[in-house]
Amino acid sequence: MKGSEAPGQGPGYARIALLASGAMFLAILDSTIANLAVSDMHETFRGASISDFSWVITLYAIFFAALLAPAGRLADAVGRRALYTMGVGVFTVASLLCAVAPYLPFLLAARAIQGAGAAAMIPASLAVILFDTPPARRMAAIGLWSAAGSAAAAIGPSLGGVLIDASGWRSVFLINVPFGIALMVGVRAVRRSERVPGRFPDAVGSLALALGMGGLVLGVTQGSDWGWGTSRTLGCLAAGAVVLAYGVLRARTQPVPAIDTTLWRSRTFSLANVVSFFYGAALYAWLLCGVLYLVNVWHYSELKAGFVLSPGAVFSAIAAVGIGRVLGRRAGPRLMVIGGSLLIVGVGVWLVAVLPVEPHLVDLWIPTAAISGFGMGAVSTGVSTAAALSVPPAQFAGATGLNMAARQMGGALGIAVLASVLAGANISGTTAYAHVLLFCTVMAAVSGLAGLGLVLKPAPQPSAPATTAATTGTAAATGGEA
């Protein structure tokens, strides 16, 4: 058949892995690297308030989370290479617009567009690496992809500090441009998926999902600033929940739905989304809590704090790559998630008990960062493996979009809890940070409990091309599970 292809054929594994990991790295990096840029922006936009600058972070998070699920479904219509190119292209152009923004509203609009581009990059990147990787190497590929995301989340603060210290806040966005161009050039080596007319997902349902998810993330993110009992917060949460529910219900009746609800018939996929939500809540709050603790309690500079966080990122990447490559086929996602969660819980309990006011870098911080980072890499790889490999190849992108959306929603909740705990607290003492770490520990424990059900039954590899499966419906949507 014209345009057909079989998994595992095409460009070399190293090139495919670099393309997929590069997109993942950039998308996650920009959810953290801009945090330190906010204070430097005061020199450029003097008339703006702190709450105005917070939208530089919030808008990216909202559009990123809101569009992940609809973007995953777009791969069925335009193909994984086209979605990848579109996502990276939008992200790169928006990054350039952020870097040259003459006034704050322009920057905020560009950040929203950048978040939309990142939302397309995530599912497209994993679909590229999974479809174009032989089945025997897919767990290792997911480990590398997860390692890129874990490293980006933790490296963001230190890299942002270096760039801002050297060249100002605009360099935080400008650095994306050459890498984005390189990815767009490199993806040309990936062969096109066959494009079939009429496979675009339901537009009304896609809009409902995006608005609903965006409303929920907005309400959770701004709740601590607006007040949890105010009409704005409650209105966002209620409207978001209603519109999101409508989008999900509408998807059950559409020939080409905005999300493939049949994915949830897979017990493993459903549990992977639960794991992602609670892990995201633990991960995002844990990382931000670490930065704030080092700056406000140990009185480190933001640049030094960023570098001190680096060991956790290194061990997270080592765990993701090593577990995916060496232990993936033997351990399976369940053991990865449970083992990783136990490491995070153990470190969390220890830190809550002994969190010191005085710096203890060598004898406390580095060992706990290494252990917790290893645990985070294991959980990230395990849950990504479970979500992706519990569905057939034609549904890789859609499944990845839903799973990452769950993690982003959890992350928004985690940041909101952190903001609420620290609001009005003595941020130069350890009590408030211990409470945040206790929340993270509980979330990691719930994630591990949900991981008990992650029994992966690999989806059978179809003899027909995967692109054909994508165009003839979702016959094997459950991924071989009931």
> DSSP characters for 317-374?
HHHHHHIIIIIHHHHHHHHHHHHHHHHHHHHHHHHHHH--SS--IIIIIHHHHHHHHH
Alpha carbon of 289 to those of 309, 354, 414: distances in Å? 11, 16, 10
Helix pair angle (13-29, 176-186), 10° resolution:
150
pLDDT at res. 331: 62
Per-residue DSSP letters for 75-105? HHHH-HHHHHHHHHHHHHHHHHHHHT-SSHH
pLDDT at res. 461: 45
DSSP annotation of 481: -
As given in the structure block, the two tokens for residue 458 are 């690999």
> Assign residue 424 a region: left if phi > 0, alpha if psi is -120 to 50, beta otherwise?
left
pLDDT at res. 166: 85
For tokens 């070399």, the residue is 12
Q: What is the reported pTM?
A: 0.82
DSSP annotation of 253: T
Alpha carbon of 281 to those of 222, 286, 412, 440, 442: distances in Å? 16, 8, 7, 7, 10
pLDDT at res. 146: 80
pLDDT at res. 325: 64
Mean pLDDT, consecutive 10-residue stretches, the chain (482 aa), reads 44 81 90 75 79 81 85 78 93 96 94 94 86 77 82 78 86 94 88 61 87 88 85 94 93 85 88 95 89 88 78 79 63 86 96 93 91 91 87 80 88 87 87 95 97 71 39 32 34
- Give burial (CB, 10 Å; 0-12/13-18/19+) of 410: buried
Q: Is 246 helix (H, G, I), strand (E, B) or coil?
A: helix
